Structure formats: C-alpha cells, structure tokens
Structure 1
Amino acid sequence: MAGVSHFTLPAPAFDKPVKLLIVVAPYYRDIADHLVAGARAAAASVGAACDLVEVPGALEVPTAIAMAERMANYDGYVALGCVIRGETTHYDTVCNDSSRAITLLGLQGACIGNGILTVENYDQALVRADTAQQNKGGGAAMAALHLIALARRWSGATKGIGFRPAPETDFRA
C-alpha cells in the first residue's frame, strides 16, 4: 500500500556491545549492496558491530545463519537478499522456504531480522532496498536489534521449578 505511513519503534539502546552477522545473497548485486548499506547504517546507529558473509542464494541464507548460531558468537543476524518473480514456480519455492526456515530459526531463539525482498520486478526491489526510500536492509537490522534487546531483557528471568515459596503475609490486624 503505497503512501501509507507505518509506525517504527525507536531504536533500542544497549549497555553491552552487540555483534551482528549480516548474511546476504548477492544474486542482484546492486540491490544487495543497498540492503547491506542500510543494515550497516542501522547497526552503527546503536553502536553495533557487524560482520558480513555472502551466500549463493536466498535458500542458503538460513543455512548460513543456522551454522553461525551453532558455531560462532553473534547476538543476532540480518538476512538479506532479493527474489524477483520469474516465469516458473521456483520463485514461490525460494520465497516460502527461505522465509519458513528463517522463522523456524527465530522460534528456536535466534534473533533474526528478515530482509529478503520478494518482489514482482526489479523496480519494486530497488525502491525497497534503497536507503533513501524504504530501506528494508535497515529495517531488517533494526528488527534483529529489537529482538536482541528483548532477549537480553529476559535472559536473567527464570520461571522457577517446583514449589514457589508462599508470599509473605502480614497477619497483624
């Protein structure tokens, strides 16, 4: 819906360093470069450090994130790429499967911002990727940063096991 205003949460603040991994599929290099620039700028705005890795395509983005989640030390991840509809159903497979895999990783606790564009044509991709327009790369980085902030907020909380102590009661009249 063009022309509709969307609410954007204010950037989170961090008292400890944040390290993001940006995973990008540069199939459309110029689009990918815009997305990465937006993600880097968003991360820098809150003092987060970023590493960048490239993978062959959008289907490999969640695999790389899963590997990093198991084997590296990142607070969160930014998934970037662009899938433009073609003449076959391959578009549907790539869009659905990459999105589903990223969602499943998130449900397992990974803090991921999904900035894989799924568009009908190149012009739509350019508008969404451009940092001066919709800046979806920056939005994906901010999504990851907000999830990191939530994870840190809740990391010390425990639900407890077994019996809870009785609340202190004042029996004075």
Structure 2
Amino acid sequence: MAASETHNILETPTFDTPTKVLIVVAPYYNDVTDELVVGAKAEIEAAGATWDLIEVPGALEVPTAIAIADRTSNFDGFVALGCVIRGETTHYDTVCNDSSRAITLMGLSGLCIGNGILTVETKSQAVVRAQAKGQNKGGGAAAAALHLVALSRKWSASPKDVGFHSDAIRIAGKTTGPTTA
C-alpha cells in the first residue's frame, strides 16, 4: 500500500447499551501482536465499549477460542488478532486459509468478528501493518467488529412482521388468509 493512498474509513459506532468485545490474540510474534492489541483496545474504548483479552497458541486456535466464547459467554463481538509470516513450507497457506475460512464461516452464521490476523511475506510488512500509529490493522479489526455489532443490533430491533408473506396477510396483528387445521 502506498503511503500517499487515501481510504474511506467509516466513523466508529457508539453504543447506548453496554457492549462487550473479546479480543483473541495469538502472540506468536508478540512484538507485532502487542501493537495490534494496542490499536484494538483504543478503538473499542473510543466506542464506549469494554473488552476482555485472551491469548491462544497460534492463528489456527483463534477461531476455536471465539467459538468457545460464543457458546459459553456473553460477548457482543470478537476481534481476531495474530500474525502469520510466510516461511519455507506450505504450512503458511494452511494456517492463513484455514483460520480465515473459519472466521468467515462464523461471521456468516451471525457472529460479529473483525479479522486482524495479518498474513504477510516478511516481518517488516507485519510491523508496518500492526503499528497503532500507522496502518493500525488491530484498530481496523476492532472497528469492523463494532460496525457488525451495531448493524446486528439495528436489524434485531426491527419488527419481525415486516415483509411479504405469501400464504397469509397480517393486518393489525391478525393473520388472514390460508390456515391449516
């Protein structure tokens, strides 16, 4: 990414009700992930939300930890953080693809997850992307999770009786049309 490029960045949402976000980090390259965490925490706090942080051994464990937390806790959103640097084997491809795929599938099932697992060729690329006062990919992942939480809350507050029902029509809370006995 060229330093002269500009990007449209959405304003961070704020919340009227308590919002709790879990940051799950794989600190394999802790100098990189420490910066990702700094950016994520700042973004979450700027939205008026709170955070908890857990560490897991590697990027492949991040989605599993999120799935466990979703089943057993009360988090509104999740931030996945880590760093995978290409090595000499195909393990890089497996870790990148499988962690990303798992996070995407959980997102498609309704979880609000910001993916900040860096996948880079070199350590220097990771450092540039992680710096909270630079590209701030940790803050970007937290912002993504917060936007999804806000969107989820917006749509979950909508009445469920909106839309076309092919077998019945709702009028003033009563159903008319075909019924089964």
Aligned position for 2:123 = 122
Are residue 17 (structure 1) and residue 22 (structure 2) matched? no
Amino acid at match of 1:80: L
1:133-164 Cα shifts (integer Å, max 9, x gaps): 10000000000000000000011221566522
After superposing on structure 2, the runs of 4+ consecutive aligned residues of structure 1 that deviate more than 2 Å are: 159-162, 164-167
Query: How many Å separate the matches in 1 of 2:105 and 2:133?
Result: 31
Aligned position for 2:175 = none
Amino acid at match of 1:156: A
1:52-86 Cα shifts (integer Å, max 9, x gaps): 00000000000000000111000000000000000
Aligned length: 167
Are residue 37 (structure 1) and residue 38 (structure 2) matched? yes
Amino acid at match of 1:127: V
Amino acid at match of 1:105: M
Query: How many Å separate the matches in 2 of 1:55 and 1:159?
Result: 42
Unaligned runs of 5+ in 1: 168-173
Output the aligned Cα RMSD. Answer: 1.4
Unaligned runs of 5+ in 2: 173-181
Q: What percent of counterpart residues are identical? A: 65
TM-score (normalizing by structure 2): 0.89
Amino acid at match of 1:99: S
TM-score (normalizing by structure 1): 0.93
